[in-house]
Every structure is written in structure tokens, then in C-alpha cells.
Amino acid sequence: MKILRMAAAAALAILAAVSCKSQYDAVMSSTDPDLKYKAAFDYFNQGKYTKSAAIFESLSMITNGTMRDDTVQYYWGLSNYRFKDYYTAETNFEKFTTNFPRSPFAEEARFLRIDCLYRQTLRYELDQTPTYNCINVIGEYLKEFPLNDHLSDCSAMLSDLGARLDRKAYENAKLYFRMEDYQASRVAFRNVLKDDAENIFREDILYYIAKSSYKYASLSVQSKQKERYLVFMDDYLNFVSEIPESPYRKELDVLYAKSQKALGRYSGSDELVNQNTKEFDKERRAEDKALFRSERQNSGKKAKKSEDN
């Protein structure tokens, strides 16, 4: 008896599935706009976004040029957006905003397109063309709709995208320092601030400018050292005048004392300089080890996430 009940239940489930599939196929093959329109919204409201998207796409060829045209096009894009197919949804919304600039859905479609573009941007290590594109589209949106309901969302996106570009510029310049090309390193870091004085890594950049000029001077031939130590002193004074309480101050003070000594201007204690140098080198090694461990952990997490996906 139990086996019969299970078999009957299975048969009903199969019948329901076949019936459901047949209903969807019937809607897809129908040319009745009212039937397709109602079915598309029924699937959409049930959260069956792949089906609603397919029906809205099919319906768009029937309703083209009619009063329903903008509604169908908008919900076609919204169905793809809700299904998290952001690439297709962005294409939908871009086409929608071009064809229906005065639609009641236009403003929301513009924002949803921005959200799709934002979700397709890449990590700072990768190509930032999508980031620049997204920033430009946000700017156009805010210019056209200055009093929209998504100001806080746009502000958060711009902040994140700007930080990503700042990080890429900073890390690119830092490559020269890691390669021990200190002249190129100083030039690269200065160019970062020339292009964007408000870079969020400004303190680190000013530090590396000074550190690069010191390294360049200390490794130069003796005949060139004087002028290059003087460049470092300018960089040092620029740094401490802007950020006197920086954690980098301790190290740069030591380098400044060493530069003065090299130029015959130092009147302090050699023992104090050497002690501070040892202390800082110890702290720096500890920080480098901590950073290395952190980067390894992050790489492991990214690899695991990639495998899971």
C-alpha cells in the first residue's frame, strides 16, 4: 500500500512538471500578446526570472511600437537583473535608456544599469577600463538626476571605485621601489600625486618619495651624493610639515640624521642614530612578515573561492 502511494505521488509530480512545462512552452509559442504579457508577470512575481525574461524577450517583438513597449523592455532587463545576469541586464538597460529616455522607468533603469556596470568591475590588480566606464556613467546619471533616490549608493560606488584606482596607481609605483630602481620609484610616486593629489595613499606615497630619494642618494657615487642627499632633505621636510605625527616619522628622522652626517652637518649622537635604526629595522621586518602572512591568507581565500565557483 505504501509503495502504491509513493508511486502515485511520483506520478502526480511528473504530471505536474509536464503540465507546467507544457504551459510555459505554450506561452512561448503563442502570438497572443495579452496571454504572454500576463504570463510574463506571473512568472516574474513568482521569482521565476529566467522564464519571465524569456517571455518578455519574446513579447518585445510583438509589442514593439505599442504602449506596452517600454514596460516589456524594462521588465525584460529587470528579470535578467534579478536573475543576476548582470551582463545581459546591462545591455537591456542601456538599450532601454536610449530608446525610452522619457519613460517613467528611465531613471530607475539608468541606476540599475550603473549597478550592473559596478558589479562587472575588476579587482585593482586587473584592467580598470570597466572602472573608468562605470565612474563616467555614474557622473552622467548624477548630472541628469541630481535629486535621485540612489545618491548614497552612487556615493558608495564612487568611493570604492576611486579607492581601487588609487590602489592601482600606488601599487604600480611601488613596483619600482621593490625592484630597487629608486630614481624611477621617486618619479613614479610623484606622478601619482601629480595626477591625483587626493590619493588615499598620500601618506604612504610621500613616505616612499622620501625613502626613494634617500636610497638613491646613499647608493650613488660620492660625487653625486651631496645634491641627492639635499633632494632627500627637501622630501623629508615636505613630509614632516604635512604629516608630523606619522608612524613613518621615526624612520625618516633617522634617515635625516644620517643624511646630515653624510653632509657633515650632524651634531647629534651616532649611538642614538644606530639604536633607532636597529629598532626600526626590527619593527619593519615584523611588519613585512605580518604583511606576507596576510597576503598568503588572502591568496588562499581567493583560490578557494575560485574553486568553489
Write out pLDDT tens, residues 106-143. Answer: 999 999 999 999 999 999 999 999 999 999 999 999 99
The band of 259, judged by pLDDT with boundaries at 50, 70 and 90, is: very high
CA distance 90 to 150: 17
Lowest-pLDDT choice from 15-24, 40-49, 50-59, 225-234: 15-24
* Cell numbers that stand for 25 in this block: 512552452
The band of 262, judged by pLDDT with boundaries at 50, 70 and 90, is: confident
CA distance 196 to 185: 17
Q: Residue 29 pLDDT > 80, yes or no?
A: yes
CA distance 137 to 15: 49
Can you say whether the dihedral through the CA atoms of 144, 97, 149, 164 is positive or negative? negative
pTM (2 d.p.): 0.76
Rounded to 5 degrees, φ, ψ at 32 are -80, 110
Contacts of 32 (CB under 8 A, 6+ apart): none
The mean predicted confidence, pLDDT, of the chain is 86
In degrees, rounded to 5, the angle at the alpha carbon of residue 195 between the alpha carbons of residues 193 and 197 is: 40
Percentages helix, strand, coil for the chain (3-state, rounded to 5) are 80, 0, 20
DSSP label at residue 68: T
In degrees, rounded to 5, the angle at the alpha carbon of residue 198 between the alpha carbons of residues 193 and 201 is: 75
Mean pLDDT along residues 1-20: 49
Look at residue 285 in the predicted model and tell me its pLDDT: 60
Residue 205 has a CB neighbour count (10 Å cut-off) of 22
* Cell numbers that stand for 48 in this block: 521565476
